[in-house]
């Protein structure tokens, strides 16, 4: 995976207004930068070439989760969920995005001073950038269990996407790559499988789709929730949320990661062991196709997941012309 720095001229939301990304800067002493007191979110937008529409995927649920998680750290976001959705759609329109996008809301403690104690000076920003496949062109995707343990809920809640907690993911991801893997797999403090460095994990075993429960220090993923619904409704699979032992990963039939950025990606190797002797996955590709279709407006039953960006603008233009 190789990322390209975003264009500094794109329009972002910063300090209660639309500004250039290149002008959206903070003081070097900002509390959120020094002490990790920020909470972020990740939201995808899928583009449908046939109807020329960009769909923000479960954007309301993402902002509901973000505002709730901000409360864990004591950060207040004054805008309501509908306003945040509208700002995000307007950013897509202002930047004339007609492709897949990734949205990064960030709320943080904004005081510029030295001192761990956080005051009530809160701020937030929203950035939208063009975004394609997170792991472009990966055919053999290798994952490995790392020595770093998933941060515990009683230390820094993993479910809350706190900026400082992602040092945990940075360390795990670095170790995984140094060991020849593409992604890390965290274990909990008691040795159960938790998740990847920045994604949830599923395995298929004996015809069941199995994933760790939210009590195993995982992010309560929205993509994870989409996958479970699609698996049950469209494929008729039994979906089980339970603790997973490390050795189960070695003897399962399929494994995949899912998340806002990665969407769904099939894993071929765990700890340098070939899964199922290299037999092609059967369930994962079906879920990949279903998720892609559902999040790009091709499945009417899941349109309630989507916020069309350009349709709202077209409606406004039609109204103006008819007056």
> Catalytic: 67?
no
Q: Which phi and psi angles does 101 have, rounded to 5°?
A: -135, 160
- Residue given tokens 């030295």 in the structure block: 114
How far, in Å, CA of 98 to CA of 313, rounded? Answer: 14
Residue 286 in tokens: 């079906």
Residue 240 in tokens: 């089980």
- How far the first Cα of the chain sits from its last, in Å, is 50
Query: Which entry of 161, 206, 208, 313 is annotated as an active-site residue?
Result: 161
Q: List, in order, residues 6 or more apart from 152 with CB less than 8 Å away.
A: 158, 188, 189, 217
Q: What is the dihedral of CA 159, 77, 88, 292, to 10 degrees?
A: 10
- Residue given tokens 């945040």 in the structure block: 84
Residue 156 in tokens: 């820094």
Residue 61 in tokens: 């649920």
* Backbone torsion region of residue 295, taken as left when φ is above 0, otherwise alpha when ψ lies between -120 and 50, otherwise beta: alpha
Rg (Cα) of the chain, in Å, rounded? 20
How far, in Å, CA of 203 to CA of 212, rounded? Answer: 9
The distance from CA 100 to its chain's CA centroid, rounded to whole angstroms, is 14
How far, in Å, CA of 67 to CA of 320, rounded? Answer: 35
State the catalytic residues.
161
């Amino acid at each position: 995976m190789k990322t390209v720095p975003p264009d500094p001229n794109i329009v972002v939301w910063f300090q209660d207004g639309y500004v250039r990304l290149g002008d959206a800067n903070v003081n070097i002493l900002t509390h959120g930068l020094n002490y990790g007191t920020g909470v972020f979110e990740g939201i995808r937008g899928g583009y449908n070439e046939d109807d020329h529409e960009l769909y923000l995927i479960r954007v309301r649920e993402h902002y509901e989760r973000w505002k709730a998680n901000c409360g864990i750290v004591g950060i207040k976001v004054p805008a309501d969920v509908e306003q945040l959705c509208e700002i995000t759609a307007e950013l897509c329109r202002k930047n004339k995005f007609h492709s897949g996008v990734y949205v990064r809301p960030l709320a943080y403690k904004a005081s510029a001073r030295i001192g761990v104690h956080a005051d009530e000076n809160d701020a937030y920003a929203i950035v939208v950038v063009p975004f394609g496949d997170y792991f472009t062109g990966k055919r053999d995707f290798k994952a490995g269990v790392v020595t770093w343990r998933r941060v515990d809920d009683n230390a820094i809640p993993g479910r809350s996407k706190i900026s400082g907690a992602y040092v945990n993911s940075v360390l795990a991801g670095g170790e995984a790559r140094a060991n020849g893997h593409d992604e890390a797999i965290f274990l909990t403090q008691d040795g159960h499988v938790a998740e990847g460095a920045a994604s949830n994990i599923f395995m298929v075993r004996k015809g069941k789709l199995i994933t760790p429960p939210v009590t195993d220090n995982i992010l309560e993923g929205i993509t994870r929730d989409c996958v479970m619904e699609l698996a049950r409704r469209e494929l008729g699979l039994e979906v089980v949320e339970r603790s997973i032992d490390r050795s189960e990963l070695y003897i399962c039939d399929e494994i995949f990661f899912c998340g806002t950025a990665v969407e769904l990606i099939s894993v071929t190797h765990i700890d340098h062991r070939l899964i199922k002797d290299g037999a092609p996955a059967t369930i994962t590709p079906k879920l990949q196709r279903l998720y892609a279709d559902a999040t790009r407006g091709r499945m009417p039953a899941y349109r309630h997941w989507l916020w069309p960006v350009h349709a709202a603008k077209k409606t406004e233009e039609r109204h103006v012309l008819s007056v």
